Structure 1
Amino acid sequence: MNYDYLEYGEISLEALKKRNKYVVYKSNSIYSKKQFGFINETIYNSTVYSNLMKKELAKLKCKISLGVSGSKYKNGHIYTNKAKNLDGTERICYIKSINDNEILITECKKDRGSNYSAFWNILKNKLNKINDFYYKDDQFKIKLKDINPFIEAVNKIIEDYKSGKYKYRIPDNEYDMICKNGQYNYYNIIRYNI
């Protein structure tokens, strides 16, 4: 499956569907080292996770991009350790702090840019097999005391991805729509599976 990895897509869904090659969004986001990097370093810049939660999340073998509000670093998107761009192609999930002892895991939460996570279906499949997690509306609530299976699931995804276990596919019925310079651009998305 061939695709172009581009900042600008097609201006309509119809034009995207007519292309003979898929178009996947490539982010050109500029970020600081405090905002994006390996989680065991970057997570400590967040102001929303408790110190105990940060200590546990730092066990993930991945990268994180922290949202910014004013001058404060907030919740984070989790990426593979190969990620260089803040788009959906290397994203695993989004982690939102609910309180000091609980987090919410979702596919993605973005106001701008790519709004999907290529590894979400794999993670969701793994987490659905764990009885300790509350699942509703495509979200998982995870308590600090139950976080180890989540850490293990994400680290296993990273390990399997590095070893070439996953193959990407481009679904025919899922698309990304991003506003660039006042104009919506349409893109195909990538999903990984075994």
Structure 2
Amino acid sequence: MLNQDQALDLFRKSGALLEGHFVLTSGRHSDRYIQCAQVLRYPEYTAALCEEIAARFKKDEIDVVVGPAMGGILVAYEVARHLGVENLFAERENGKMTLRRGFRVQPGQKVLVVEDVVTTGGSVQEVMEVVTGQGAQVVGVGLLVDRSGGKVDFGVKMEAVLTMEVPSWDPAVCPLCQEGSPAVKPGSRVRA
């Protein structure tokens, strides 16, 4: 089993945990940023983190693992590999999350939805709706990082390898802005 400190060490060693002044996808500012793509560059770190997620859902009789593109693709693959089940990914088409490329879940299948990092959980919720819309059952959500500090609730079993409460501020009241520190946007998405 990988504990919180060991997981945090992997994020630090890989350069995935950044400290400074950042603009989040939401537009809010924060003094910490987690770029999971950095930890996922290392197969041994990815395997250890995803094996931990898989272990926490081993008894839930998962049939398929689904993750949202982009962040959830590698996580879904590796968690599914550890569970010995199929993996799929959902992606946006015309702004709406969907299963494409001939991917489908079957009615009654038990699905584990996984993601790299969650703050509000919007993408995970969208994937859950796609899965349940095809008649499958979401039995859990597995995360590398829960940035909400445990506040996000999907209504199913949720397990995060690393749980952090990362403060964020409206730019108008950001203490880092008030100190004159320039903010950078390191993320992979731009909010439309």
What is the TM-score when the length of structure 2 is the normalising length?
A: 0.26
Q: Which has the larger helix fraction?
A: 2
What is the TM-score when the length of structure 1 is the normalising length?
A: 0.26
Q: Which has the larger strand fraction?
A: 1
